[in-house]
Amino acid sequence: MNKPQIPNLLLPAPLVGSDAGSFTEFTVTQRMPDIARRVIAENKFSIDINQSLEELAAELPSGYLRTLTNDTGADFHNWEKYLELYKHQHWVDVPWFFAETYFYRLILNITNYFQPGGSQCIDPFLLQKIKGLETSINSIISLCTPVEKWLIQSQQEGKPSKSSLITLLYFALWGNRVDLSLWSAFEDDRSSFDIQIQLNNILIDDSFAVTKLLTKSQNNRIDFVIDNAGFELTCDLCLVDFLLGGGFTNQVYLHLKPHPTFVSDAMVKDVVYTKDFLVQSSHPQVQSLGKRLTENLASGRLVLAEDYFWTSPLAFWEMPILLKDELAKSNLMIVKGDANYRRLLGDRSWDFTTKFADIVSYLPAPMVALRTLKSEVATGLTAEVILELANTDPNWLTNGQWGVIQLIS
């Protein structure tokens, strides 16, 4: 039977910024203006660029979407098409996912990211990304040390270690708490957590099923849809390292953003920067991780890929066919983070008890989502759990304290 191309169910309405009192409203009217102003404060753009960024910040709460001028970005014509649907609408009235992705694309338009000149390819969020990595160095050391031990153990035992893999899945999950669009790298270091204590905060945990799937056949590839640079990326790279070195797979593709977006989202250059940062560390186990990553990149066992789909406002089921065919070759897709989860759901207001599998029925390969909750969407929860969370932690949907590991195979 052919797989459906869209969710099995009727699509509910998308989240929008005009939902009074919602986190989406808070994001469009306050967080996004703050982020635009942080770009001004943390860079040395010209007075004209800063003025234009300030205008963008000021128009978000009650203004209209502006058009995109042709900045020669490879995705410019696609954005012209996406914008057709929402001409002359207020920022708060368009689907939230569209508003956010367009906002980040506009920042690049304003800062002349795509055009030849002094600010071409300047990542407006670079300072945050670097700081995020540097401040988490102690957590990175604490993680790299056991990873090396587990690798040696699995190589000695000649078989993949499921328990170590589960631990690394947990690190990859909780690494997603560190999100620089919500918590600036200049505030607290959120990279330190105890995964044993955090176990109680995993609302759905399919990690064991993931290890079973991965030990069934070890010669296939894994595709990792990456989220944030910094500590989260380092956790993900530890997982990748263990998947490759621990006998779970022989090839991993990392899917990365083609341009800066959502503040901390990782691009190819951020992976390279992180790998070099690890290699240059004076800590032996951190350095070894960097060297293994370098070798895996050189041998093609680790492949870095980028696609403009990942910075588009499209739902996962609207993925271009070429990318979908590519992902169909995967033994497992690992989809990281909140924004990617929102893309899987089309950022729509599904009832939280809806079966995840019924929504993502269109996927071309098995998939596990590792997501800490930072937006008002959820699936696969029981009514009892939802009620209990609402009573005990009113901000459970958005405070990043709760997580899910949801597998669809």
Ligand X SMILES: O=P(O)(O)OC[C@H]1O[C@](O)(CO)[C@@H](O)[C@@H]1O
- Is residue 233 involved in binding ligand X (CB under 6 A)? no
Contact 14, 89 (CB under 8 A): no
- Is residue 211 involved in binding ligand X (CB under 6 A)? no
- Is residue 338 involved in binding ligand X (CB under 6 A)? yes
Q: Which region, judged by CB under 6 A, interacts with ligand X, from 124-132, 145-153, 174-182, 292-300?
A: 174-182
Find, among 309, 316, 308, 323, the residue nearest to 369 by Cα.
Answer: 316
Q: Which region, judged by CB under 6 A, interacts with ligand X, from 70-78, 86-94, 133-141, 338-346?
A: 338-346
CB of 323 to ligand X, least distance (A): 19
CB of 20 to ligand X, least distance (A): 17
Q: Would you say 27 or 112 has its CB closer to ligand X? A: 27
Find, among 140, 206, 135, the residue nearest to 170 by Cα.
Answer: 206
The interface with ligand X within residues 339-368 (CB under 6 A) comprises: 339, 342
Distance from C-alpha of 124 to C-alpha of 35, rounded to nearest angstrom? 10
How, if at all, do strands 221-225 and 202-205 pair?
unpaired
Q: Would you say 42 or 376 has its CB closer to ligand X? A: 376
Which of 174, 262, 309, 402 binds ligand X (CB under 6 A)? It is: 262
- Is residue 375 involved in binding ligand X (CB under 6 A)? yes
Q: Which region, judged by CB under 6 A, interacts with ligand X, from 65-73, 103-111, 317-325, 331-339?
A: 331-339
CB of 265 to ligand X, least distance (A): 7
The footprint of ligand X (CB under 6 A) covers 27, 100, 176, 179, 181-182, 227-228, 262, 337-339, 342, 374-375
